[in-house]
Amino acid sequence: MKGIILHGGHGTRLRPLTHTGPKQLLPIANKPMSQYCVETLVNAGINDIIFIVGGIGSNKVREYYGDGEKFGARFSYVVQDFPKGIAHAISLCENFVRNEKFVVFLGDNIIQRSIDEFVLNFQKSNSYASLLLCEVDNPSQFGIAEIENNKISKITEKPKIPPTNLAVTGIYFLTPYIFKIIKKLKPSWRNELEIADALQMLIEEEKEIIYEIITDFWKDTGTPKDIIDANRIILQNMSPVFNGEKGDNVIIEGNVMIGKGSIIKNDVKIMGPVIIGDNCIIENNVIIGENTSIGNGTHLQNCTVSNSIIMSECSINGELEIKDSIIASNSKIVKNKNNEKNFLLGEGTQISL
């Protein structure tokens, strides 16, 4: 079985974080969100994987993942020149898939469980597709499945009045027959070829689609809040490790991961779950609260941070309290003694003072 990871799109709901690169490379617990997709596939024995790239900074995807050797896999790439829908993106992989069954992962979807069982069940079945469904609180934001007599009877993309709360997750197990279906599709009102329409066409042709309802953690990380929530869940499931150095009067409580070369100096308090990357300096009465990720090479002084993601190579200094925030790489935040505020901000920036 082969794997496809969709790594394109513009990430408009995550601007300004996505002005310089794809949203799927934004870190969750100090790891690009799409890497969780890669690891899930590789752990299930799927190591021939193609990335569909496009949009701003798509070259960064190739730079980070390379040929796949460091992930125990073989990677290739195809370009979707403009966002024309998930079904269109899948259609670009027909020559890659050939006659094999395959699994598609949306690169901003994270599942905290093995998919081995689903892979095995689909391999053994004669079904044309297998879907993972999950109950959600906001069904109008997803493709929604209706089930009758233990069969999927209808799939509707982002219905205004959802008939159920069973969302179709961004993980699709498919056969090469789907390429014939996609060739029959017409663009939706969004001028995209919708995967929901392709799946609905399979249903109308009476092609069997099997499904599983998952109760384990699954997250579509489309908004800043989604990313912070995913960061919290993943941190809670990580194992503590300390590979740095610490000074006197340092308090570390709970599940805390500290990387190589990081220095935790005097009078710092860290309350896990927290991850601190490599080569960081945390000093001068810093308090790091629960559900916080600190990227590599970041320097924190005289501040309090909680339920936030601070990316790599950041510098924060001053009597500041940062909460429920995402700070992009190479950011510098300093509170001056005279309380002056100087800003250099990108489009879409949000600040509360």
Domain boundaries, the chain: 2-234, 240-334
d(CA 273, CA 49) in angstroms, rounded, equals 32
User: Would 2-234 and 240-334 be classified into the same CATH topology?
Assistant: no
- pLDDT of 134 reads 87
The CATH number corresponding to 2-234 among 3.40.50.300, 3.30.420.40, 3.90.550.10, 1.20.58.710 equals: 3.90.550.10
Cβ-defined contacts of 153-159 (< 8 Å, 24+): 153/203, 154/200, 154/203, 155/196, 155/199, 155/200, 155/203, 156/196, 156/200, 157/188, 157/194, 157/196, 157/197
Which residues of the chain register pLDDT less than 70?
8-22, 216, 220-222, 336-353
Residue 181: closest CA among 129, 134, 136, 233: 129
- pLDDT of 337 reads 66
- The pTM of the full predicted model, rounded to 2 decimals, is 0.88
CATH no., domain 240-334: 2.160.10.10
- CA 26, distance to chain mean position in Å, is 8
- pLDDT of 16 reads 52
* Contact indicator for 166, 135 with CB cutoff of 8 Å: yes
- pLDDT of 12 reads 52
- pLDDT of 122 reads 94
Q: Which helix (H) or strand (E) holds 5?
A: strand 2-7
Cα dihedral: 15, 104, 311, 229 (round 10): 80
